[in-house]
Amino acid sequence: MAGVEELLRLVCLLIITAGLFLFLWTTKSFWLPFAARWLMVGDKDLHPDDVIIVLSGEQGELVATGVKLYQEGLALRLLMTSGPVKWKRNERPGGEQIRRDLAAWQG
């Protein structure tokens, strides 16, 4: 009997979890915008911080955005991680060198 009760409890838990997931999925157009507004930061709320951290990636947009934010005075320091960056198929310079060159080029 204990095995049947445990199985029944597990099935009930699964049904409740699936029902909750289905409810959240079908009502996401109502509650998701509120959650997004809570997470968003407006331009007027930005204030200078200690450091801007740019994580490595395959594209240069992250570096360019980090340098731009640094130039706007939103941080005292700019920290960039290194990693492989693929800008050209035949040429694969190190990510650290590309970041240094791009940061120097942008000022």
User: Which pTM value belongs to this model?
Assistant: 0.42
Round to whole Å and give the CA distance between 105 and 7: 65
Round to whole Å and give the CA distance between 66 and 15: 46
Quick one: pLDDT at residue 15? 97
pLDDT digits (tens, 9 = 90+) for 84-99: 555 544 455 556 666 6
First and final CA of the chain: distance in angstroms? Answer: 74
pLDDT digits (tens, 9 = 90+) for 29-54: 998 998 888 888 776 666 777 898 88
Q: What is the mean pLDDT of the chain?
A: 79
Find the mean pLDDT for residues 14-20.
97
Round to whole Å and give the CA distance between 64 and 70: 10
Quick one: pLDDT at residue 18? 97
Quick one: pLDDT at residue 10? 94
Pick from 39, 66, 63: which is nearest to 52 by CA?
Answer: 66
Quick one: pLDDT at residue 43? 67
Transcribe 44-98 into DSSP letters: GG---EEEEEE---SSSHHHHHHHHHHHTTSEEEEEE------SSSS----HHHH
